[in-house]
Structure 1
Amino acid sequence: QEFIEALYLFPTENSNYIVEDILISEVWVQDMNKLI
């Protein structure tokens, strides 16, 4: 979570994509946990 906050404090051209990837990954993990 500190990593995400750091991206907001120091925005770069790729920061939005990185945050989206993190959010998508978390959703994917939650979906996988439901299947198990």
Structure 2
Amino acid sequence: WKKAADYLNKPFSPEELKSSIRKALGGEERQNSVLFPSP
């Protein structure tokens, strides 16, 4: 969890946020493509 805390403490772009959500959800990438369509 320290890694997550460090990540939240630094500024991040929307793209980094999306990618971190995808990584966190792991196998739910198909659902993520609906929530966060790729450009």
TM-score by length of 2: 0.41
TM-score by length of 1: 0.42
Which structure has more helix as a fraction of its residues? 1
Whose Rg is larger?
A: 1
